[in-house]
Structure 1
């Protein structure tokens, strides 16, 4: 490898893309194209970066498998940054195996972290945690140690484990400082701010207040009976009853919990659960059926007792009843949560992350544009979506994948 290529590679490793471009901007050989692509990616020119990397990969010969694999890893990183979650993950797995077989442990580890970050982004926490367990960050350079700790912190935050998350972020901050890469330090700082932003709302006895992640963790460990509208469960510190597939029951128990210790009129329950303003005998009969099902599911945690005008929630033990809900609610709250990370998302990536059809996502995005909540740029397959402003809350409890 010639001196200019070596010097440009060192500049990129130090987070100096302009310095790298000054050395190889006029060269069109495959190593220079690859370095130019990485430099353009660091400058935010992702489409140009992807084209340069693909040209570099085509230019490397059959005997340069490692160089081609490195181009694939770089392209995968661009795909992750541009939220192209449909990018073929098998290509990254093949590249990682090639790098590992040829002794390039650092780039193989980098490929592994990219795969784990993708799993985390789409809410596959168990798979991400299992994959991360096979990595030992102690022998890696500082930048990859920071990446490791960022993933550890991300999993901990999504699992509602604030102290392990803070410890991981502290380690990530030290590693990023040692690496001397400003963009990496900024990513660590952004992750740390999530721990100090409101993560949920607490509703009890007619009063609401915002909770930080630490507060949510403490609430779920308390003796209180919690109707968790973030993860669609009713729980105390020892028992969890899932209502994820029973939206009507979740609506009913939330209405009862928000009014507790008072009761809720029958017509109010019918209006909330069945979305009708005019109740008749068929609605009242259905309400009795659904409340019977709710009693059966909550029998170890609470009863649902009839009163003169409606129904009241009756915990089995003397304790508070609290509703835990998202800091921001609405029809498209989960989509806004993804878009609130500051990155530009494609509609196909949102569809993959949300488990919805792309057409459904596109209709939702158009309605959010009309409400001035998101904005788009680009056309066709290059079209991307972002929020119009920086939200003042953490999106952790809006994202999928929580147990």
Structure 2
């Protein structure tokens, strides 16, 4: 390795892309092309970076598997920054295995972290957590220790992320990934611990962009993440307060992830919008009941109900009773229906609840019913949350992340663009979508976890 290549590599490690280009910007040999590609990626010129990295990979000979594998990993990271999620993860896995076999632990770990971040963008939280655990970087409480011999490790209740020889920037990225898995899984204590370790590693790395990313992740813990609706009033909740609410045993009608939750029991309703609309309407009226015509208007979006609508309502209420049976009971009243949280002891026949209500027999000691709604309402909340990360998304990547068809996503994007909510850049296959950040709250609960667009 000549001195210019080595100097350019050192410049890229500390984020000095322009310094690296000054040294290798006019060279076309494969190592220089690879460094130029990484520098262009740091400057945000992702298409050009991808082209240079591919040229570098083709330029390395058959005996230079290690260099080619490094180019594959770098290109995968650029693809992730471009939100190009269409590629097969097998290529990255093969490159990671090659790097591991050649004792390049740092780049092998980077390849695995790229795979984890891709899974997070797609909402596959369980797979992402398993992938992190396989490298000893799971979102479990940990502490940095210095065992005898002076090596530094991150100890995690039985699994280890051996930090010897790894750059601090890479450790910070690993901890950020662990923190995101914990936050998306609503485990705020492990997330705070991981972010503290990420801050320590980022300070040692002295990379401004990494420090800013850690600061933004830590700020998300202090912003409102959802709203608790009860008795016509709203209360803003942070992520730790949402976690406490879900662990409280109350029956939560979760409008962020579209389902019913009580303790460890979860009943998803994301693919049954009528049932969820009925459940939310009943929960918002708790401990009272809801008029039949109001339920029909809410579920079927009509203002002139007839007998056909009333028959459909009875059918849907029956289906909701079946789904919610382990968590709640739905009782008919003189004018509509009421939601009753379980478990409880029934009141004596004919005894009315202290809050009044028509003919429903209310149970004594029933489970509290709470409605948890996102900071922004509407079926487009998950899409806006994805776009709010500041990256330029393609329609195909959004469709993959949301689990929806491209045609559905395109239709919603066109409507949002007409309303001024998003903007597009480029044309045809190069068209990308951007949205301004959603200031004032965090969008973690809106990010998809294998949920459809709505």
Shared fold (TM-score, shorter chain, > 0.5): yes
Report if the CA contact (8 A) 1:146-1:173 is conserved: yes
Aligned residue in 2 for 1:20: 20
Check if 1:284 corresponds to 2:332. Answer: no
* In structure 2, C-alpha distance between the alignment counterparts of 1:351 and 1:313, rounded to whole Å: 35
Q: 2:370 aligns with which of 304, 319, 322?
A: 322
Aligned residue in 1 for 2:32: 32
Aligned residue in 1 for 2:148: none
Q: 1:376 aligns with which of 415, 419, 424?
A: 424
Superposition deviation, residue 295 in structure 1? 2.4
Report if the CA contact (8 A) 2:390-2:436 is conserved: no
Q: Deviations over 1:92-116 (max 9, x none)?
A: 1121122112221111111111011
* In structure 1, C-alpha distance between the alignment counterparts of 2:437 and 2:254, rounded to whole Å: 28
Report if the CA contact (8 A) 2:225-2:238 is conserved: yes
Which runs of 5 or more structure 1 residues have no equivalent in the other structure? none
Aligned residue in 1 for 2:41: 41
TM-score w.r.t. length of structure 2: 0.85
Aligned residue in 2 for 1:138: 162
Quick check: 223-232 or 1-10, which moved more? 223-232
Aligned residue in 2 for 1:173: 199
Q: Deviations over 1:29-56 (max 9, x none)?
A: 1111111110111011111111111111
Quick check: 377-386 or 199-208, which moved more? 377-386
Superposition deviation, residue 66 in structure 1? 1.1
* In structure 1, C-alpha distance between the alignment counterparts of 2:195 and 2:104, rounded to whole Å: 27
Matches within 5 A, 1:222-301: 222-301=248-327
The structure in which a higher percent of residues are helix is 1
Matches within 5 A, 1:2-401: 2-136=2-136, 137-139=161-163, 140-316=166-342, 317=344, 318=365, 319-401=367-449
Superposition deviation, residue 153 in structure 1? 0.5
* In structure 2, C-alpha distance between the alignment counterparts of 1:254 and 1:222, rounded to whole Å: 19
Distance 1:7 1:238, change over 3 A: closer
* In structure 2, C-alpha distance between the alignment counterparts of 1:54 and 1:348, rounded to whole Å: 22
Q: Deviations over 1:270-297 (max 9, x none)?
A: 1111121111111111212222222233
Superposition deviation, residue 361 in structure 1? 1.5
RMSD: 1.6
Distance 1:300 1:60, change over 3 A: closer
* In structure 2, C-alpha distance between the alignment counterparts of 1:106 and 1:388, rounded to whole Å: 34
* In structure 2, C-alpha distance between the alignment counterparts of 1:57 and 1:387, rounded to whole Å: 34
Distance 1:241 1:89, change over 3 A: closer
- Determine helix, strand or coil for the equivalent of 2:337: strand
Which runs of 5 or more structure 2 residues have no equivalent in the other structure? 137-160, 345-364
Q: Deviations over 1:110-165 (max 9, x none)?
A: 11110111011111111111111121433232111111111110110011111111
TM-score w.r.t. length of structure 1: 0.96
Distance 1:245 1:27, change over 3 A: closer
